[in-house]
Amino acid sequence: MNLYGQEVASRLLIGTALYPSPAVMEAALKASGAEIVTVSLRREAGGGRAGDSFWRIIQSLGVKVLPNTAGCRTVKEAVTTAELARELFGTPWIKLEVIGDDETLQPDVVALVEAAGILIRDGFEVFPYTTEDATVANRLVDAGCRVVMPWASPIGSGQGITNRAALQTLRARLPDITLIVDAGLGAPSHAAAALELGYDGVLLNTAIAKADDPVGMARAFALAVEAGRAGYEAGLMPPRDFASPSTPVVGTPFWHAAG
């Protein structure tokens, strides 16, 4: 998977929030094989023992950090947070979130496009969290985004892909853009379905962190992502309206009971 010129082997990106303990987070990240983790500046910039423990884990795993602007609701707030994140984490990468609705956590797509343009002109490499709307995605690409991250369904809902046709259209319209499904995935099968559509990767947090066994669930998602991508590359059979026998009947002998 190509992310602004950097090749990444794992197609699974994982958030670092909501785990019951740092030890469980560490074990889950290892089990997932993820090379990129998202980090909220608001949560981690406070320092203290919890922050120090978190950074020791991240450094020991050698993963790449993708800071995000989680919780931001205006262009100014998102841009300021991104600038602070670049200074703190030493990376031009930023997962850009500008929330427009408190109930659904749906992105404010107008503010998102504006903020993306400002950040890209300032040298950032932007990973925008957006809806599955093709018009918005095209505007983000026109602003300079080489990665676009549409949701499958609202953050933390676990509903999986609710608008499959729109995600298919987005993939067809943007063949040269890295597309990562972000938010709403609740089961490994949801991740496999996204990869089967030709998406380059998936990003999730809640489905792993809040599972009864986060480590086992991280492993399950890793396998699902591999299976989904392998199926896509092998060439999935198209659905049919009618049955088609898997065993040929021409030339098949028939036996009849004697009279």
Question: What is the per-residue pLDDT across 125-146, written as a single tens digit (0 to 9) for each?
Answer: 999 999 999 999 999 999 999 9
Helix (H, G, I), strand (E, B) or coil at 83: helix
Confirm or deny that 178 is annotated as ligand binding: no
Distance CA 234, CA 236 (A): 7
Nearest-5° Cα angle at 34, 30 to 36: 120
What token pair was written down for 17? 């929030």
What token pair was written down for 254? 């028939």
pTM (two decimals): 0.89
Q: What's the number of domains the chain is made of?
A: 1
247 found inside a domain: no
101 found inside a domain: yes
243 found inside a domain: no
Confirm or deny that 2 is annotated as ligand binding: no
**How many Å separate Cα 147 from the centre of its chain?**
11
Q: Cβ contacts of residue 198 below 8 Å, gap of 6+?
A: 171, 179, 232
Domain that holds residue 93: 2-234
Distance CA 111, CA 100 (A): 9
The answer to whether the beta carbons of residues 3 and 147 sit under 8 Å apart is yes
102 found inside a domain: yes
106 found inside a domain: yes
Distance CA 152, CA 8 (A): 22
Task: Give, for all 259 residues of the chain, the pLDDT tens digit.
Answer: 999 999 999 999 999 999 999 999 999 999 999 999 999 876 555 455 556 677 888 888 889 999 999 989 999 999 999 999 999 889 999 999 999 988 888 999 999 999 999 999 999 999 999 999 999 999 999 999 999 999 999 988 999 999 999 999 999 999 999 999 999 999 999 999 999 999 999 999 999 999 999 999 999 999 999 999 999 999 998 888 888 777 766 666 656 565 5
Confirm or deny that 27 is annotated as ligand binding: no
- What CATH number does the domain containing 24 carry? 3.20.20.70
Catalytic center residues: 95
224 found inside a domain: yes
pLDDT score, position 250: 63
Confirm or deny that 183 is annotated as ligand binding: yes
Q: In which residue are the tokens 């985004």 written?
A: 145
258 found inside a domain: no
Question: What is the per-residue pLDDT across 218-245, written as a single tens digit (0 to 9) for each?
Answer: 999 999 999 999 999 999 988 888 887 7
250 found inside a domain: no
3-state secondary structure 154-181: CCCCCCCCCCHHHHHHHHHHCCCCEEEE
Burial-class residue 166 by CB neighbours within 10 Å (0-12, 13-18, 19+).
Answer: middle
Confirm or deny that 69 is annotated as ligand binding: no
